[in-house]
Structure 1
């Protein structure tokens, strides 16, 4: 099979990948790879919204300051200013593409976008589409992507590894393309491209409990690492404080906006507890709220706490949170009358592949946008609803950088086809499922919300053994999507553990009982790992 050639290969189909593809497609031949269906991504499940300064009483400086405070001293101020300053422009871009954001009537009889408030924000600045913002954004972008003649969509295509000139014996590390498994045809294809963009999302599936879909296995981080790119701040994993706790629900997210609209966290006896942990109460940053819930659950030996918004009018709840209301009602919970049982779950990867303001990685021709990247925006903790904004802004930045130099970059040479002459079909798939479960369980137990050096060392010993076992398995058997995800998952687990061991302090999302205070060095540094 001859290789497939494009100007730009986009790996991932969430808000970052699709908005980037659409910005490029009038001027370049673009291929978008999606591991499963095109819309299946973290974006699709994002409920809260997108933060942007749109209200007259708000300001760019206020949004910047809120982000810096949430980031606990590790944000890059220039990156924060870059992202925040382009907020309105990116919202306008989405509105032009038909995203149906929630509006309210203005005093003059017109309409304007409704803004809600979430944890860490001092103003109402979160644009949303009821409580299913990600669904609205993703489906609108999907329609435009499928309709654009300049974009080729490849669903159920899972990247195995990047191809670089260095891997082929050259001196330059430049990316030339990728080997990709067509998981429906069970064939490996070779894609050539002048530029490759990682937009493959985060890695929260490395934990036992997560709000993320099954595809969030850190693929982009792992393949960039294997290709020679640096990663940074992998110890900062955000645990969303409020995921639905129910035996028949798979970590259904209860949006931050529920607390933003007055939802209160309660113990089983109805008593509030957040004021004991932070004066901001339920509107404290997510790491504070998640640790408070974790503390109370362990102190009392209970399975969950409760989030109560039933004091709000029933129609207000149904109109603001229709998705949450409907899903909870399916499970026998009427949130207009009852509190919602909730637990924390792994939600967002603040670290990732190190990039600059043009979304460029260490490898020439390779870009990273969205959750897969570490841009400097989030620092040690992501503030609510800054993530979709980051996707949109850095997709714009990457598109501009790619188009600027596209014509100067020659087409890559013909690439060798994938060789599987030395492997066979596996007769023991149980190894994959067993190792997958083992990684996710020890990561939850030893590298979760509260850590210690002893727990981290236990996790490191296990991950080193598993990495060897998985590498041996990968070398002997034909690739499958499950095997590729497992291979990536063990890399990501090791990167998180090694990063956590290097940080001898508690900062932002990384909390360790051995070092409960902040490190003395000023300013604090990023945790950068080099392959």
Structure 2
């Protein structure tokens, strides 16, 4: 479907927002039930899943067990993982990996044909299923895109930017989206949000420009409940070249023995954690943040662990480094923390149902509870395929109802752009790796000003998502997982729980702060 007009007269029983792993996997699992996929870019492009370098975590190796994988997930999640949800996800992992194999994903195998598993930080076993070292995301998406384009039950509306959920009679019945300068509406029997994360709300991120919290904002503005919005994961080792998005040096490098050093060549991670470079991501990210802030610098040294084999073993990282004039085979890679993944999102149950009737969700836009305060490496792609399959299974049978796409007016310019630069700056400065009350208050007030300036315009979804993240961080007066506050540096038993908030409640937090500060915006 290259343009909405081509769908005139066609029915859309299921509308899927998002052309990444979760959205495409859900569409394939729905077949032969019909679905329309609305994607902000050509499917497979502009999706964070296509950039994933590590792979999928699944307990499939000799000596590994579901219980070990669960224990690692619980430990990384800092006490607030939904154990039942995580256990179910992990148990379904091998079946979903076999699904991907059936779709043509060329996962690495050894000489005997067995899956070649690697290890990443905070995993106790080698359980990462990957492709050519650091190309899992790209290979998975290429295979799924090919299969989707061959599946007659799936219609595609690409380069179409979802803007609003249509709510009628208390039920989500469709999506309003911009395409080719026009505003359009599409209704269906069900809507599935699979729109990705919020990385581009920050100035330094590994995420593509499409990941600017649009789906989270849409759901929140429609009244959905949002969970754990304060938990934003920073990948410790983005390659520090000033590029936007920042290229990533996969965690698998540290899993294969690469070390973190300062300018003098001294390893510093064992100063802060007994697992050194394989400590949980939040700990490594804060350590690198302090190194960079102090001027001592942080570098990923792969010379001994990978060396001359770099180009073959990690071609994506190698290409990014060489493009920046760095030869990682012979020199350390400068690294910096960058926003990588959002543990928070639209609250769903085990079937992917949200708090809004008619709306399901899967992938990074959600908060299922399986990640807690800090996602375990490579559990994200696992979550995407497990819950996408669950959503497909839970959706109603094709009832043959729906309405064709209708064009309702001109699209407002800017809806397809990145988040406002001022918003990206304030989140990076005050809602980043390290936080405190004063900075969070400044962030909330600035976000409030930006929301007032943009109103219900092009950036309404981005500013709504940002408000929820900042309000959640402001209210959580402790440090846990990826959320670290210098004014509350310890975990507190009173906050040993997940949080749930609506946009109206986040706005109330801002209103109370304004009243305290004597501002009136």
Q: TM-score, normalised by structure 1?
A: 0.89
Structure 1 residue 224: deviation in Å? 0.5
| CA displacement, residues 245-281 of structure 1 (integer Å, 9 cap, x when unaligned) | 1246741000000100001000011001000010010
* Equivalent residue number for residue 138 of structure 1: 141
CA-to-aligned-CA distance 1:25-67 (integer Å, 9 cap, x gap): 21x1110111012112001110011000111210000000000
Structure 2 Cα separation of the partners of residues 125 and 522 of structure 1: 32
Residue in 2 aligned with 1:35? 40
- Aligned residues of 2:118 and 2:252 also touching (Cα < 8 A): yes
Provide closer, same or farther for how the CA distance between residues 3 and 157 of structure 1 changes in structure 2, counting only shifts above 3 A: farther
Q: Helix, strand or coil for the counterpart of 1:6?
A: coil
Moved more, 236-245 or 330-339: 330-339
Which residue matches 1:328?
Answer: 321
Match of 1:456 among 440, 443, 454: 440
Residue by residue over 1:332-376, the C-alpha shift from the partner in whole angstroms, topping out at 9 and shown as x without a partner, is 222111111111101101000000000000111211100000001
513-522 or 138-147, which deviates more: 513-522
- CA–CA distance in structure 2, aligned partners of residues 390 and 4 of structure 1: 32
Counterpart of 2:13 in structure 1 is 7
Cα deviation, residue 181, structure 1: 0.8
Q: Does 1:443 align with 2:414?
A: no
CA distance in 2, matches of 1:56, 1:434: 45
Residue 192 (structure 2) aligned to one of 197, 201, 204:
197
Residue 113 of structure 1 aligns with which residue? 115
Partner deviation per Cα, 1:85-130 (whole Å, 9 max, x = no partner): 011101111111110111112xxxx221111111110000000002
Please give the residue correspondences for 1:220-299 in structure 2 after superposition, counting only pairs within 5 Å.
220-247=215-242, 250-298=245-293
SS in 2 for 1:345: strand
Aligned to 2:155: 152
Within the alignment, does 1:310 sit opposite 2:303 as a pair?
yes
Structure 2 residue corresponding to 1:363, chosen from 347, 356, 366: 356
Quote how far apart the aligned CAs of 1:525 are: 3.6
Deviation of residue 239 (structure 1)?
Answer: 0.4
1:528 CA drift (Å)? 3.2
Is the counterpart of residue 374 in structure 1 residue 367 in structure 2? Answer: yes
The alpha-carbon distance between structure 1 residues 406 and 462, as it changes in their structure 2 partners (threshold 3 A), is same
Q: Which moved more, 1:240-249 or 1:255-264?
A: 240-249
* CA distance, structure 2, for counterparts of residue 410 and residue 499 of structure 1: 41
Going from structure 1 to structure 2, the CA distance change for 1:56 and 1:248 (only over 3 Å counts) comes to: closer
Query: 2-side partners of 1:471 and 1:271: how far apart?
Result: 50
**What whole-Å deviation, never above 9, does each CA across 1:286-345 have from its counterpart, x for those lacking one?**
1000000111222x235x410001013545433321221233123322211111111110
TM-score (norm. length: structure 2): 0.91
Q: 1:406 maps to what in 2?
A: 397
Distance 1:354 1:527 in 2: 8
| Alpha-carbon offset, residue 527 of structure 1 | 4.0
Equivalent of residue 295 in structure 2, options 301, 313, 329 = 301
Within 1, Cα distance between the matches of 2:144 and 2:403?
Answer: 32
Question: Which residue of 2 is the match for residue 477 of structure 1?
Answer: none
SS at match of 1:371: coil
Out of 209, 212, 215, the position equivalent to 1:217 is: 212
Does structure 1 retain, via aligned residues, the 8 Å contact 2:184–2:406?
no
410 and 3 in structure 1: CA distance in 2 versus 1, 3 angstrom threshold: closer
* Aligned mates of 1:36, 1:519 — CA distance in 2: 42
Contact 2:10/2:403, CA 8 A, preserved across alignment: no
Against the structure 1 CA distance between its residues 326 and 379, is the aligned structure 2 distance closer, same or farther, given a 3 Å change threshold?
A: same
Distance 2:442 2:254 in 1: 36
Matches of 2:183 and 2:9, distance apart in 1: 10
For 1:12 and 1:191, how far apart are their aligned partners in 2? Answer: 14
